[in-house]
């Protein structure tokens, strides 16, 4: 996004994190002047409490649900852990969940997905029929971070109701991009930095009465679901970010993403991993380059000024093959030759054009496949300003 060194760079990794919005930055700077602990009784403390509660209200309004359901956490990883870890009962998760859901419970039962990356509802229904009599929690993400595929949450809720099961959704990638009656879910995980807010803040929306034992104990903050002095700066930043995110123009992003995919498939018709007609986020493209490792692609794009990622860049920065693509039936070779491009609401055609040129250039240099594109263009020295 911003200039780094001599070359201007383009940020196409919004699903990893979105740039901080300037209005959010301003709101946070103003909140830094507030002194006080929200639990203190004096007027300083009460001012901080007021800010936190009005932020809670703003988050709740953005999601269309009651503010008392919003519990601030340090991010979606914590929210997912809070939702699943100490749930007293059976836990069912989809095969494509983020690790912060997938790895929380060793005893979780997994629901498979189709080759299009959509959770198998029949399988879920059958699993729930085997009712053990204990409370059951189903965790299905709203949209997948690697593929952008939107999950049939309304149907999941319907099936769950039939079997009196609870539904949690990691909605990190969908909030602000997809409209959904969020109040229908028993629990929802939200992350600030995916919305153009700061990292290190998120929330878990929760219904009272769920059989959950909080694991961070101490003070009684956040209705005892999450002890610890509240992160005021993060909380006001997150509230501002979620409000702003509702104004984003994802129709524009969809046009850009579709153009990118059309142009890339002219170069290689086999490059598109997710079928165009799949119900998915409007900002995400998953591209396969035959014979070129994901890691090599990421580094090559980085040299050309484009920040993209492989679906499963882990915390060590290494690129692993994707568990999500594996669950969709991709073989290991193909799996390791895929990248994710995730654009933002303010991306532009010039950036898309530059990316396609870069893709063609890397493809022609590194891939064992032959370009089918007639207008040979090379993107080696393509430079332009973000947002121009
Ligand atoms: N779930 C999904 C689907 C994500 O994409 C991410 C971020 N990679 C997380 C959870 C974790 O969010 P956070 O960084 O706020 O802990």
Q: Which two tokens stand for residue 145?
A: 């971070």
State the pLDDT at residue 259.
Answer: 96
The answer to whether the beta carbons of residues 282 and 251 sit under 8 Å apart is: yes
Q: Is 202 in the pocket of ligand 1 (CB under 6 A)?
A: yes
End-to-end, the C-alpha distance of the chain in Å comes to 11
Tokens 């929380």 locate to 104
Alpha carbons within 13 A on the beta-carbon side of 116 = 13
Q: Which two tokens stand for residue 22?
A: 């300037």
Tokens 């699993």 locate to 127
State the pLDDT at residue 334.
Answer: 85
- Ligand 1 atom, smallest distance to 201 CA: 15
CB atoms within 10 A of CB 46: 13
**CA 85 to ligand 1 centroid distance, Å:** 16
Pairing assessment for the beta strands 10-11 and 90-94 based on DSSP bridges: unpaired
Query: What residues contact residue 74 under an 8 Å CB cut-off, 6+ apart?
Result: 200, 201, 202, 231
| Distance between CA atoms of residues 161 and 172, nearest Å | 23
Q: Is 169 in the pocket of ligand 1 (CB under 6 A)?
A: no
The answer to whether the beta carbons of residues 55 and 235 sit under 8 Å apart is: yes
State the pLDDT at residue 2.
Answer: 46
**CA 366 to ligand 1 centroid distance, Å:** 32
Digit-coded pLDDT (tens) for 51-104:
999 999 999 999 999 999 999 999 999 999 999 999 999 999 999 999 999 999
- Ligand 1 atom, smallest distance to 200 CA: 15
- Whose Cα sits closest to atom 8 in ligand 1? 16
Query: What residues contact residue 51 under an 8 Å CB cut-off, 6+ apart?
Result: 31, 34, 232, 235, 236
Q: Between the CA of residue 146 and those of 24, 117, 281, 315, 351, what are the distances in Å?
A: 26, 10, 11, 15, 21
3-class SS of residue 127: helix
- The answer to whether domain 2-19+249-386 and domain 34-245 are alike in fold is no
**Where do the domains of the chain lie?**
2-19+249-386, 34-245
**CA 145 to ligand 1 centroid distance, Å:** 8
Q: Is 284 in the pocket of ligand 1 (CB under 6 A)?
A: no
Find the catalytic residue in 2, 3, 314, 377: 314
- Ligand 1 atom, smallest distance to 141 CA: 3
State the pLDDT at residue 381.
Answer: 38
State the pLDDT at residue 158.
Answer: 98
CATH architecture of the domain with residue range 2-19+249-386: Alpha-Beta Complex (3.90)
Q: Which of 172, 309, 312, 323 for mutating ligand 1's site (highest number of atoms within 8 Å of CB)?
A: 172
- Where do the H-state alpha helices sit in 105-249? 121-129, 153-162, 232-245
Digit-coded pLDDT (tens) for 306-347:
999 996 555 556 667 899 999 999 887 788 999 999 999 999
Q: Is 76 in the pocket of ligand 1 (CB under 6 A)?
A: yes
Q: Which two tokens stand for residue 294?
A: 């994901």
Assess if CATH 3.40.640.10 describes domain 34-245. Answer: yes
The answer to whether the beta carbons of residues 41 and 199 sit under 8 Å apart is: no
- Ligand 1 atom, smallest distance to 97 CA: 3
Q: Is 77 in the pocket of ligand 1 (CB under 6 A)?
A: yes
The answer to whether the beta carbons of residues 201 and 75 sit under 8 Å apart is: yes
**CA 286 to ligand 1 centroid distance, Å:** 18
**CA 196 to ligand 1 centroid distance, Å:** 13
Tokens 């390791």 locate to 336
Is 314 one of the catalytic residues? Answer: yes
State the pLDDT at residue 227.
Answer: 95
The segments of the chain whose pLDDT lies below 50 read 2-3, 374-388
Give the residue among 83, 63, 77 at the shortest CA–CA distance from 166: 83
| Distance between CA atoms of residues 187 and 189, nearest Å | 7
Residue 178 sits at φ, ψ, to 5 deg, of: -125, 135
Give the residue among 127, 98, 122, 125 at the shortest CA–CA distance from 110: 127
pTM of the shown model: 0.93
**CA 138 to ligand 1 centroid distance, Å:** 18
| Distance between CA atoms of residues 294 and 339, nearest Å | 6
Q: Is 203 in the pocket of ligand 1 (CB under 6 A)?
A: no
């Amino acid at each position: 996004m911003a200039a780094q060194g001599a070359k201007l760079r383009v940020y196409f990794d919004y699903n990893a994190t979105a740039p901080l919005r300037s209005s959010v930055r301003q709101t946070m700077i103003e909140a830094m002047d507030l002194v006080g602990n929200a639990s203190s009784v004096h007027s300083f403390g009460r001012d901080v409490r007021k800010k936190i509660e009005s932020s809670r209200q703003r988050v709740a309004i953005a999601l269309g649900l009651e503010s008392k359901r919003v519990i601030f956490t340090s991010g979606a990883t914590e929210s997912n852990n809070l939702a699943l870890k100490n749930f007293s009962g059976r836990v069912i998760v989809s095969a494509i969940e983020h690790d912060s859901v997938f790895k929380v419970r060793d005893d979780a039962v997994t629901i498979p997905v189709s080759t299009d990356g959509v959770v198998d509802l029949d399988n879920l229904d059958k699993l729930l029929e085997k009712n053990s009599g204990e409370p059951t929690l189903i965790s299905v993400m709203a949209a997948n971070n690697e593929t952008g595929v939107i999950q049939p949450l309304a149907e999941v809720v319907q099936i769950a109701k039939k079997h009196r099961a609870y539904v949690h959704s990691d909605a990190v990638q969908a909030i602000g991009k997809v409209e959904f009656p969020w109040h229908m879910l028993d629990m929802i995980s939200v992350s600030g930095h995916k919305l153009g807010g700061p990292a290190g803040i998120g929330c878990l929306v929760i219904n009272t009465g769920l059989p959950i034992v909080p694991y961070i104990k101490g003070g009684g903050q956040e209705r005892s679901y999450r002890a610890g002095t509240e992160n005021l700066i993060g909380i006001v930043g997150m509230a501002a970010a979620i409000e702003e995110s509702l104004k984003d123009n994802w129709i524009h992003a969809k046009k850009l993403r579709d153009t990118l995919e059309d142009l890339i498939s002219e170069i290689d018709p086999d490059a598109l991993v997710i079928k165009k007609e799949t119900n998915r986020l409007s900002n995400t493209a998953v591209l396969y380059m035959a014979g070129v490792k994901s890691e090599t692609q990421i580094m090559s794009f980085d040299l050309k000024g484009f920040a993209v990622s492989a679906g499963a860049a882990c915390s060590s920065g290494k690129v692993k093959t994707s568990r999500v693509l594996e669950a969709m039936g991709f073989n290991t070779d193909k799996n390791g030759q895929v990248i994710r491009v995730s654009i933002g609401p303010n991306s532009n055609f010039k950036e898309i054009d530059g990316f396609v040129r870069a893709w063609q250039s890397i493809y022609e240099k590194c891939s064992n496949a032959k370009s089918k594109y007639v207008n040979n263009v090379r993107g080696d020295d393509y430079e332009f300003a973000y947002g121009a």
